[in-house]
Amino acid sequence: MAINELYEAMGLTRIVAIDADGRACLEYQAKPQQCHSGGVVQGGFVTGWIDAAMAHAVIARVGENVVPMTLELKVSFLAPARPGAIFAEGWIIKAGRKTAFAEGSLKDADGNLLATASSTLMLADRGRVESAAKAAMENTQ
């Protein structure tokens, strides 16, 4: 799946801001198709949105030659996310050569806090990750 297809599947509307200090804000459009009973967005989308914002924050700080791979992720769901504009923010707490620690939040268009997260990410070499993915794809064909 190409990155643009992934963004579309997740409902990414735009990248609001990316800061080289290690902050990112992404806007998503939560769709009714992403909801379960009661019109509440399924938690996997909430988790994915915050995870993506934290990854963008890491890339902003350490550069595009790194793929931030989530080693550990904790999400606290504070209020239901519903269809409409959703803003995921991520920021770096600390980044080393091989590991980064990030936090994030999810808010609705009115600024209501819906979820928070913390993550430990491995900083993998993009070339190695892409080569391994290519080899894996060739082995499945």
Output the domain CATH number for residue 18.
3.10.129.10
Range of the domain at 101: 3-139
Domain count, the chain: 1
Name the band, by pLDDT with cuts 50, 70 and 90, for residue 2.
low
pLDDT of residue 37: 87
Supply the pTM of this predicted model.
0.92
Is residue 108 classed exposed, middle or buried when 0-12, 13-18 and 19+ CB atoms within 10 A define those classes?
A: middle
Where does 96-134 show beta strands of DSSP type E? Answer: 99-108, 113-125
Residues 76 and 120 sit within 8 Å (Cβ to Cβ): no
The single-letter code of the amino acid at 135 is: A
- The amino acid present at 20, given as its one-letter code, is A
